[in-house]
Amino acid sequence: MAKGLEEGFTIIAPKDDHPVVYIVSDSIGETAELVAKAAVSQFNGGNVEIRRVPYVNDPQDIVDIVDEAQGQNCIIAFTLVLPELREVLVREADKHNIPTVDIMGPFLDALTLITAAPPKLEPGLVRKLDEEYFRKVEAIEFAVKYDDGKDPRGIQRADLVILGVSRTSKTPLSMYLAHKRIKAANVPLVPEVAPPQEIFSLSSHKVIGLTIKPQQLNVIRTERLKTLGLTSNADYASHERILKELDYAESIMKRVGCPVIDVTNKAVEETASKVLEIYYRGERYR
């Protein structure tokens, strides 16, 4: 019996000599099974048994499947993106007069005509795209939940932790990284507030420090105060306060031992590129 034949197939009221639809796929076979069920429903079920055979990627598996199917009242429906596997299945089925239904092949051929590009011929791409989408959504939700040090529990769960004083673009950077499917938590560094102890137990490549030139930070904070309707001479934007915060942040980053990126006059995309380079280099060699 072919590998996987005992797993994941749905049985609908089988009886002696009942019709059988084999679903053969190089991925999980959900697409072909949905098509088969839709067709079967047009016959009020028709006592049809649907057998799903997933993750078929070896020609010998196909030979085994056809050998089992021969002599039964059956058809074989398949979603195989590799042409060589499709050819083997059709050839073996023809030997035993078993009808086949190629669900994927004709569509791939038609799309090739209108896109003027060859298909990737990579099994399971739809599922991979779905997984990437949900990972991105999860990372975005993570960035929102653990923004600005709201919950230190996120530090241990994060792929990356961003440190920096106020207005060094920690939040935009975290959101940008989330769209790259990286869960980033960010922690503001304020002299009057002790940083969460969790940051000192992380691998250094999982923590990134952000710094900025005092003059630019003064401009940014002054503009921020204006948008809030506050006077620009508040302590928040004073030169002395900014230097105190930057010195404090530098001392924390040295304790952590993390890389530090100067974000002065840098777009978020440029900073993110450097962050990703550091992160993936660390993942590769850890």
pLDDT in tens, 47-61: 899 999 988 888 999
The reply, when asked if residue 167 is annotated as ligand binding, is: yes
The reply, when asked if residue 284 is annotated as ligand binding, is: no
State what percent of residues in the chain have pLDDT above 70. 88
The reply, when asked if residue 126 is annotated as ligand binding, is: no
The reply, when asked if residue 211 is annotated as ligand binding, is: no
Q: Which two tokens stand for residue 183?
A: 């869960």
- The structure's pTM equals 0.58
The reply, when asked if residue 286 is annotated as ligand binding, is: no
The reply, when asked if residue 174 is annotated as ligand binding, is: no
The reply, when asked if residue 207 is annotated as ligand binding, is: no
Domains, the chain:
20-123 (3.40.50), 126-285 (3.40.50)
183: which residues sit within 8 A by CB, 6+ positions away? 138, 139, 142, 143, 157, 158, 159, 160
The reply, when asked if residue 128 is annotated as ligand binding, is: no
pLDDT tens digit string along 226-283?
888 887 778 999 999 999 999 999 999 999 999 999 999 999 999 999 999 999 887 6
pLDDT tens digit string along 57-116?
889 999 999 999 998 999 999 988 888 898 999 999 999 999 999 988 788 778 878 887
